[in-house]
Each structure stands twice: as C-alpha cells, then as structure tokens.
C-alpha cells in the first residue's frame, strides 16, 4: 500500500514538472504552434519509446536477475554436495554393481571442456545403473541416509529451487529414497517386492545425483579452480579419490 502511494506521488510530481516546463517554454518563446508540433512529434515515437523501455530494458533486467538467481542457486548446489551430496554418492556406491561401465567416463582431468562435461552428463543420463541390495547392510544404509533428511528438508524451503528443475527432481528422488527407508521398521527378511522397490528408488536417486554432480564439477572448474582440484581428488569414480568419512 505504501509503495502504491509512493508511485502515485511520483506520477503527480512528474506531471506537474511537465506542465511547469510547458508554461516556462511559452513564457520565454511564445510559440504555441511549435510546441504543439513538437508534442505530436513526440507522440509519433512514443510507441517506440515504450518498446525500448518496457520490453527491451525489462528483458535485460530480467536476464540479469535470472543470472544472479542462478549464481545463488549454484552456491546452494555447491553447499549441497559439500555437505551431503558427495557423501551420498559414496554411501550408495556399494549398491551399484556395474560402475565399471561408466567410471572411466567420469574420471575428470584439467583437459575437460564444456563439451566433455555435456557428453559425460548425457552418458550418465543414458546409462543403465544396475542396483542390488543383496550384499548391503540395509540398517546401516538407512542410518546414513536418515542423517541427510534434515538438510534435504532445509533445501526445499529455498525458493531458488524453482529455477533449477533437474536439481529439484534430484532432491525429490533423494527425499523419497530416505522416506522409503524410514518407513520400514526392520530390514531383515524383507519381501522381494520391497527389495525391488527400494532398488528402483535407489537407482533413480543415484542416477539423478550423478547427473547433477557432473554439472556441479563443471561449475567448479569454471568458477573455482581450487575447489575443482579438491573435487577431482575426491572424485568417487576415480581410483585415486580420497575416501570421505564423517566428521
């Protein structure tokens, strides 16, 4: 309401200034005909002025604001992988039984270009991750995933997620996986249908997580080379990666 009143005041002031300038012009030059000609000449180009100011300038401002929001979103994504994302890759990795088929593709080095990252992301998207929970300690996996739930809930409160659909989808996949594990009281002698369902949920979450991780690493390489270097050393798909442990 206050902003609306402020806008009205600005409009009235501008109109008064315009009228005052008109009377000053007539006071000094006494040429109403010329003033009328110039007034209608300005009206001729008024639509073009509206296009320039309303559409083009507005689009430039919107593009800049969107870029700033995406930069803020990249910070959120970076914090996610620093806090739980990379750790989640390590936690779920033992359940994926065919990582050898894609690990070589994800062994990053300084020669990687934008196209290399794009190709790697497409490879991840098309890759058929095989998940098996037969030899996994499901109780421990549930405990590790449950500790991530509060952080996931905090991220959903961030309105910037609307600017990044694939990251939001990944968070939902992760949250659903955590929720599915939490909904079970015990993990010994689970029926085959439950095992298949959990494997499908883990497959979906892991695929989405790896896909987002590729773009996260690309962002680090472009904007934060020193963090990129650490990220490469922590690469969960490389043989020389650092083992990530809980603090």
Q: What is the pLDDT, as a whole number, of residue 4?
A: 60
Q: What is the pLDDT, as a whole number, of residue 2?
A: 57
Q: Angle formed by the axes of helices 192-223 and 165-182, to 10°?
A: 140
Q: Which contacts qualify for 238-244: CB closer than 8 Å, 24 or more apart?
A: 238/103, 238/106, 238/107, 238/108, 239/107, 243/90, 244/86, 244/87, 244/90
Locus of tokens 């910070």: 75
Q: What is the pLDDT, as a whole number, of residue 239?
A: 65
Q: What is the pLDDT, as a whole number, of residue 7?
A: 73
Q: What is the pLDDT, as a whole number, of residue 205?
A: 96
What span, in angstroms and rounded, lies between the C-alpha atoms of 74 and 161? 10
DSSP class of 69: H
CA triplet 79, 84, 85: central angle to 5 degrees? Answer: 80
What span, in angstroms and rounded, lies between the C-alpha atoms of 180 and 200? 11
Q: What is the pLDDT, as a whole number, of residue 91?
A: 93
What span, in angstroms and rounded, lies between the C-alpha atoms of 89 and 71? 24
CA triplet 34, 38, 42: central angle to 5 degrees? Answer: 170
Q: Tell me the mean pLDDT per 10 residues along the chain, length 247.
A: 69 82 74 71 74 75 76 86 92 92 90 93 94 91 93 85 82 94 86 94 96 94 88 80 39
DSSP letter string over 141-189? HHHHHHTTHHHHHHHHT-GGGGG-HHHHHHHHHHHHHHHHHHT-S--TT
Q: What is the pLDDT, as a whole number, of residue 17?
A: 83
Locus of tokens 């990687």: 112
Q: What is the pLDDT, as a whole number, of residue 1?
A: 60
What span, in angstroms and rounded, lies between the C-alpha atoms of 118 and 8? 50
| Closest by Cα among 193, 191, 174 to 182 | 174
Q: What is the pLDDT, as a whole number, of residue 49?
A: 72
């Amino acid at each position: 309401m206050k902003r609306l009143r402020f806008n009205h005041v600005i409009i009235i002031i501008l109109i008064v200034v315009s009228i005052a300038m008109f009377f000053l012009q007539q006071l000094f030059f006494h040429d109403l005909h010329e003033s009328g000609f110039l007034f209608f000449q300005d009206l001729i180009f008024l639509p073009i002025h509206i296009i320039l100011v309303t559409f083009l300038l507005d689009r430039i401002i919107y593009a800049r604001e969107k870029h700033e929001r995406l930069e803020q979103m990249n910070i959120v994504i970076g914090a996610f992988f620093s806090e739980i994302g990379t750790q989640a890759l390590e936690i779920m990795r033992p359940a994926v039984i065919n990582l050898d088929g894609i690990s070589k593709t994800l062994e990053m080095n300084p020669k990687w270009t934008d196209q290399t990252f794009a190709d790697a992301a497409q490879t991840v998207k098309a890759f058929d991750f095989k998940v098996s929970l037969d030899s996994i300690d499901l109780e421990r996996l549930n405990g590790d995933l449950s500790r991530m739930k509060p952080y996931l809930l905090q991220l959903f409160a961030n309105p910037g997620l609307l600017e990044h659909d694939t990251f939001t989808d990944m968070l939902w996949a992760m949250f659903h996986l955590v929720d599915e594990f939490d909904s079970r009281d015990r993990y010994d002698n689970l029926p085959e249908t439950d095992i298949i369902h959990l494997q499908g949920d883990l497959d979906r979450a892991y695929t989405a997580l790896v896909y987002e991780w590729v773009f996260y690493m690309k962002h680090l390489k472009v904007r934060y080379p020193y963090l990129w270097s650490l990220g490469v050393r922590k690469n969960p798909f490389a043989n020389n990666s650092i083992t990530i442990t809980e603090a």
